[in-house]
Chain A
């Protein structure tokens, strides 16, 4: 009877999963496949590549910052350890290239001045409404935490495996796929006016025109600026922007795990010793 019950529950579950899976695929269209990339900051010993972050900053500054703000970052972050590795003087020079509003002064007037390292990154637009007006009603999202605000649908059993492998680069993989995913729409795809076809974006229609094209920026270190190179660099930069403490976190994690492993072993041996006083 119990076997039948277990079987019945199992059959119901299986039927539910199969039917449910089909329904989901039917509702969303074909499942979007995102390639997983190799990132220098992935894994237990992951670190950012300074050159990659600096190139990525250059792509952000010359391409993305026209429409996308980075409002939770400060210019001084560019000189922080674990980041792009600019010197404080370089960060100050970068900041000085932007004008920010300040005040009121003694006469009660607001004024503009060159930005200092302690200022936040300047926004391209005064407010969301202006951003929408200039971008055909679409709001270019702020990029400060976008690498943590996007992910990839990984079915079972992957989400379970990801818990154990420390895979946290879903956002980065998605962003790279998005930036390098601009293609001509397939013949049978109904593209709405003003939208672009993108292989990675949910629904495949995105309002943002392809931001990258070959040789769009001239890298200071001479790296060829192909679309995939720029996409990789700016994605790494955005990952740093979202998680500036990543290197510190993983380094501390190693020390903590080592400490806990040793501590647990010592406590286990102590427990055994204490309990050995008993006969069993």
Chain B
């Protein structure tokens, strides 16, 4: 909860700065003393992980930009130049490419955490919507970034996705040519995608600041989904959650390093090591893995415009989530019925992802249509109904009681609420 600041400047200089630009006070209030629910589990560490990866992508991206050439004839060669000639260029390039995948892995865990624990419910609706905006910006950024190496998959994925806009009646063709800067994906498209790919991450950074601000007004949600009642329900962010987030980050860096150093290309597509050829279409055009579920939804609908609208709707519906879920109870921990539907939904998304990687024909197409329909049924039918018919389990009286009940289950310590000294 945002309350009065407890920061006391420690030196003359600190006082002087605090009167002019209270940044240290802001850091102290937001990340130092900030009261955080004491029962957060490791699913709450992914916000910090995401912030790290945003900065990592920005840093590796800016360094890559010093050596990359955004020209249809030179782009592919400039990437090879980075990989072969630039000192540690191979490392920066692989870190950026793998980093994008890890960024999306973390964001999916972060989003599904929100879905499970009801973090999108009042009073965090704006926080949630800002998150959806960040997610959409991430997808646009990643899509444009993938075009930059100008490989076969870069070119043809750009062709497929930009062509979608021609589905809109009357204005579609004009919009598409305006996007392309010409009559097909070509050098002009590459140059503007480069400019926008450089720009959008800084917009993401801005929305992330709003996202953290919107979080700090009500404070974090927690696994029990019940509100913080008093001081003993919380812990100061530093040192408890700072060290926990730090550990989780380093642990997450281990699979990141695994891919960067031991299998950097497996998350990508071999066709992108072939120079783009407008005259030769690859057998299967697929986006990167993190965009596959939306690709499946796009291709499931028989009409081009229908597919485009369904794809946009699948994201737009996330914005409405706080109002579609009618349950008064936040956390799935106390919603036995919702919990089952949550996991079915997770399975639905994973299956959609798999189907996005396969050709949209035969059984794959049937399955994609079923899974797409279920995706919308989950949000539009199941969630509203569940709130009305579900009997939630009794909620704990407070966060502290929930924590103590858990430690009593484990056979742990005394029911003293204040931090005790000399603990084991």
Contacts and interface: CB of A to CB of B under 8 A. Distances in A.
Contact of A168 (B240, B263, B404): B263
B11 interface: no
Nearest to A276: B423
B102 to A, nearest CB: 13
Interface in B246-271: 246-247, 250-251, 253-254, 257-258, 260-267, 270-271
Contacts of B174: none
Nearest to B366: A16
Contacts of A256: 257, 261
Nearest to B403: A280
B262 A250 contact: yes
A15 B371 CA distance: 13
B66 interface: no
A166 B344 CA distance: 31
Interface string B408-423: 0000111111111101
Interface string A246-280: 00111011101100110110011011001111111
A173 B261 CA distance: 20
B367 A16 contact: yes
A150 B362 CA distance: 27
A44 interface: yes
Given A15-B366, A23-B363, A267-B243, A249 B91 contact: yes
A171 interface: yes
Which of the four size classes fits the interface of chain A?
A: 35 or more
Interface in A1-35: 2, 5-6, 9, 12-13, 15-24
A149 interface: yes
A98 interface: no
Contacts of A245: 83-84, 90
Given A260-B253, A279-B416, A145 B361 contact: no
A248 B254 CA distance: 19
A111 interface: no
B263 A17 contact: no
Interface in B205-253: 235, 239-240, 243-244, 246-247, 250-251, 253
A252 B351 contact: no
A250 B90 CA distance: 12
A163 interface: yes
A254 B254 CA distance: 11
B59 interface: no
A242 B258 CA distance: 20
B243 A270 contact: yes
B391 interface: no
Contacts of A254: 261
B262 A253 contact: yes
A170 interface: yes
Closest 9 CB pairs of A and B: A253-B261, A19-B363, A16-B367, A23-B362, A149-B273, A20-B363, A20-B364, A280-B407, A16-B363
B84 A72 contact: yes
Interface in A129-165: 141, 144-146, 148-151, 162-163
A12 B266 contact: no
B112 interface: no
B347 A9 contact: yes
Contact of B261 (A17, A249, A263): A249
A264 B416 contact: no
A166 B362 CA distance: 33
19 contacts: A9-B374, A12-B366, A13-B351, A17-B367, A20-B361, A20-B367, A23-B361, A23-B362, A24-B358, A44-B262, A72-B77, A163-B266, A245-B83, A253-B258, A261-B254, A263-B250, A268-B251, A271-B246, A280-B403
A267 B420 contact: no
Contacts of A150: 270
A148 B361 contact: no
A15 to B, nearest CB: 6
A72 B273 CA distance: 12
B366 A168 contact: no
B414 A279 contact: yes
Contact of B247 (A5, A16, A22, A267): A267
Contact of B362 (A20, A261, A278): A20
A172 to B, nearest CB: 12
A244 B254 CA distance: 24
A15 B363 contact: yes
B423 A271 contact: no
Contacts of A260: 250, 253-254, 257
Contact of A279 (B243, B254, B341, B413): B413
Contact of B80 (A6, A19, A144): A144
B419 A17 contact: no
A168 to B, nearest CB: 5
A217 to B, nearest CB: 27
Given A148-B270, A149-B274, A20 B243 contact: no
A131 to B, nearest CB: 14
Given A145-B80, A151-B270, A274-B243, 9 more contacts: A2-B340, A16-B366, A72-B77, A166-B263, A168-B265, A249-B94, A250-B261, A260-B250, A267-B250
